[in-house]
Structure 1
Amino acid sequence: MIQPDNLHIRPVQPSDKSAVLAFCQHTWDDEADYIADVWDLWFSDPSGHILVADLSGQPIGMTRLVQFSAAEGWWEGLRVDRAYRCQGIGSQLTAAALEVGRSLGFTTLRTCVSTTNTFMHPFVHQQGFRPLGNYAVYYTEASDNAPIALQQLGSQDCDRIWDASNRFAPQKCDRLFVVRGAKWQTLTPIILIKHKEHLEIE
């Protein structure tokens, strides 16, 4: 059992990488963890806040908070070394991440949990999260048919795009879009224009 005095939550350091990636190799039994693929990107992202659980100088857990705007954020990447699970470390990491969000002024914080990750469902509920929606991932075989032609939209089309999104999702809480991977952010006219200017909408 971990002694509380020996554990503290702190911001990530460059030297934590090898230890974190080592325990992330054993996150799941039947599939590889993606943390190793995104670690360098996460570490260099100024909008992200990675926290680690430090046990006497050794990282044994991690999580990440991402800031989308002044009021909106995303929580992800909760991991705990298998040797130290079920001792409250995940709860401490989550509490620390939520406190960072409060200190940044977040009024909305979202996360995403797989339907197959049944252990996490009651956990996120205990942390104050509530179900918002579901999405499914679909795959298909590659086709030799001609691809569907896409038309590059201009800034003059933003009003039309916004009207279409409102018809598709009349409730404000449903107007979310995927940003920076599998993260959901509220869609607003300002954000729509911003992403259109960066040629991210077709």
Structure 2
Amino acid sequence: MSPTVRTARHDDYDDIVELTSDVWADRAMADYIPDVFRDWVDDDGADRKTLVVDVDGHAVGLAQAVMLTETEAWFQGMRIDSDYRGQGLGSLLTDHLIEWAADAGASVGRSMVFSWNEAGLGQSLAAGFEAVTSFRWVHPEPRDETPGMTVGNDPATAWRYWQESDGRDVLSGLALDSGESWALSTLTRDTLDRLATDQAVLTVGDKPRGLACRVRTTEADGERLAEYAVGVWSDVDAARALFTAIAADAATLGVDGTRVLIPETPRHVAQAAYASGNIDGRPDFVFEIDGLGELS
């Protein structure tokens, strides 16, 4: 029987567990997909679609598309059973998700791939995506400490700084999405206005020399984390003040840890390591495919 693509169902769960069991067998980490698959099926609707590749009644591939904004789609959870890799099933899923996203109004689609995931990197290029940016996570430890610079919470000031920041250019204007975990979308003035009210927008310096914005608190591996959509700054002193401000903000929430997205440049990585001292060892890559309506 030839492979077919269809909407995911609850009775696919056992197949999904099986096909994700050895995704990262060479790494000390478990796949998150079995934990979220049932929720993905339940949440399918106008703004998200979960598809599987079906062969002889068994799901041997999986992927999901989510509309983050009216024009930005995010593709995630691409998995192919090891017995079926190299047969073009990833591209088949991607083509169907692109068609769905284009019909939903998306003009651009993006995805994230771990830098060590060679198969994922190759699959992204084979499907027509291009690498647009890379980023890294920094994890300041929550603590009650006063930054060495003035801390503000003005979205207008933050927006002006963001527009002029070299970090914005490196990140192609993207930051951690406020609605979907592990997804990046365009950071807008409206988003900063909302976060300043609902979460926190932090600037450091009388004439701002750094910016961060908190998007949510979440649970990860039994710990509560405060997540910050982006952190950018002008120099090492501003980095120290910004990460201190983030640590102090997180301390007021009583969380166990933090996660801050920063641009992947030698300056940002070196200064973050010096100022914060707790930084991931590898970057993550963001891939993009434009003009979805023309491709569907």
Common fold by TM > 0.5: yes
Report the Cα distance in structure 2 between the residues aligned to 1:67 and 1:195, rounded to whole angstroms: 20
**1:91-114: CA deviation from partner (whole Å, max 9, x where unpaired):** 111111111111112111111111
Task: Please name the residue that 1:12 is paired with.
Answer: 8
1:67 Cα deviation after fit: 0.6
Q: Tell me whether 1:183 sits opposite 2:183 in the alignment.
A: yes
Task: Please name the residue that 2:89 is paired with.
Answer: 89
Q: Aligned partner of 2:21: which letter? A: Q
Report the Cα distance in structure 2 between the residues aligned to 1:170 and 1:186, rounded to whole angstroms: 10
Q: What is the 5 A alignment of 1:104-123? A: 104-123=104-123
Considering only aligned residues, what root-mean-square deviation do their CA atoms show, in Å?
A: 2.6
Instruction: Report the TM-score, using the length of structure 2 for normalisation.
Output: 0.58
Report the Cα distance in structure 1 between the residues aligned to 2:128 and 2:35, rounded to whole angstroms: 29
Task: Please name the residue that 1:167 is paired with.
Answer: 164
Of 19, 42, 45, the residue aligned with 1:44 is: 42
CA 1:96/1:26 → structure 2, altered by over 3 Å: closer, same or farther? same
1:173 Cα deviation after fit: 6.5
Pick the structure with more strand per residue: 2
Task: Please name the residue that 1:129 is paired with.
Answer: 129
Gap regions ≥5 residues in structure 1: none
Q: Is the 8 A contact 2:91 2:126 kept in 1?
A: no
Matched positions, count:
192
CA 1:14/1:198 → structure 2, altered by over 3 Å: closer, same or farther? farther
**1:181-202: CA deviation from partner (whole Å, max 9, x where unpaired):** 2211001112222333432645
CA 1:35/1:148 → structure 2, altered by over 3 Å: closer, same or farther? farther
CA 1:170/1:75 → structure 2, altered by over 3 Å: closer, same or farther? closer
Report the Cα distance in structure 1 between the residues aligned to 2:18 and 2:134, rounded to whole angstroms: 31
Q: Is the 8 A contact 2:10 2:38 kept in 1?
A: no
1:121 Cα deviation after fit: 2.1
Task: Please name the residue that 1:24 is paired with.
Answer: 20
1:55 Cα deviation after fit: 1.1
Counterpart secondary structure, 2:6: strand
Task: Please name the residue that 2:280 is paired with.
Answer: none
Q: Is the 8 A contact 2:13 2:34 kept in 1?
A: no
Q: Structure 1 residues 113-122 or 130-139, which shifts more?
A: 130-139
Q: Is the 8 A contact 2:168 2:174 kept in 1?
A: no
Task: Please name the residue that 2:101 is paired with.
Answer: 101
Counterpart secondary structure, 1:120: helix
Between the aligned residues of both structures, percent identity stands at 23
